[in-house]
């Protein structure tokens, strides 16, 4: 912005210099022809008056031109700031979505691990429960009460509820015999989380960064 303002000032000074040069040249050329008229009584005063009027008009025009250019520069600066803010909002939302994606994949992995054959089911169950508790803590740190995080606040809350449900299931889960499937709730959670992550990724990719954008998913 400062470079453009500097260029404008340089052009303005150059234009004034050219105008003065042209005025002086015209004066030197025209003055011999006007000498007889200047000899008339009061002619000098008229010439002086006309010169003053022209000077005032020139000053008014220069002031108007500077005001117009200043307004254009302010508008351009406002547009740049708005564009930068949109880019920042898109970046912040994408960061939140990435954290949710990582947390969601941990939930999917945990649901699959506890239903797989293992020689130490109790240890595996305890490890996956601790993993999900850590995921909940991570989700609690997300700034979903402020814009743009509020746009995905409902999704984060729903994911936390699903994780709490899975933890309750793990607290009462018994070793699954070989060849049998785990609780249906775990399969449903995997499908739900997978769909949620797909929707959030698509939303983040198409988010324009507008301040007044609304998105309120069902809780």
pLDDT digits (tens), the chain, 219 positions: 555 555 555 655 655 555 555 554 545 455 555 555 555 555 556 556 666 666 676 667 777 777 777 888 888 888 888 888 888 989 999 999 999 999 999 999 999 888 876 778 888 889 999 999 999 999 999 999 888 888 999 999 999 999 999 999 998 888 776 666 778 889 999 999 999 999 999 999 988 888 777 665 544
Q: Domain extents for the chain?
A: 2-80, 88-206
Give the Å distances, CA to CA, from 75 to 54, 133, 166, 197.
32, 50, 53, 39
Please give the angle made by the CA atoms of 23, 35 and 53, to the nearest 5 degrees.
45
- The pLDDT value recorded for residue 163 is 96
Instruction: Name the token pair of 119.
Output: 């020689």
**Exposed / middle / buried, residue 206 (Cβ in 10 Å: 0-12, 13-18, 19+):** exposed
Instruction: Name the token pair of 218.
Output: 């069902």
């Amino acid at each position: 912005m400062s470079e453009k303002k500097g260029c404008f000032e340089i052009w303005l000074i150059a234009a004034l210099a050219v105008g003065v040069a042209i005025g002086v040249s015209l004066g030197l050329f025209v003055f011999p022809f006007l000498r007889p008229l200047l000899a008339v009584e009061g002619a000098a005063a008229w010439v002086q008056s006309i010169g003053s009027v022209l000077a005032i008009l020139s000053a008014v025009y220069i002031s108007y031109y500077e005001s117009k250019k200043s307004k254009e520069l302010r508008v351009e600066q406002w547009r740049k700031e708005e564009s930068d803010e949109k880019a920042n909002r898109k970046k912040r939302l994408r960061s939140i979505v990435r954290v949710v994606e990582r947390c969601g994949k941990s939930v999917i992995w945990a649901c699959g691990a506890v239903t797989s054959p293992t020689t130490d089911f109790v240890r595996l169950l305890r490890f996956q429960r601790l993993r999900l508790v850590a995921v909940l803590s991570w989700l609690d740190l997300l700034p979903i009460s402020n814009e743009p995080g509020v746009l995905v606040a409902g999704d984060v809350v729903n994911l936390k509820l699903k994780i709490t449900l899975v933890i309750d299931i793990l607290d009462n889960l018994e070793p699954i015999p070989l060849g049998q499937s785990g609780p249906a709730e775990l399969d449903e959670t995997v499908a739900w989380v997978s769909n949620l992550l797909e929707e959030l990724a698509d939303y983040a990719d198409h988010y324009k960064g507008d301040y007044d954008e609304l998105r309120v998913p069902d809780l």
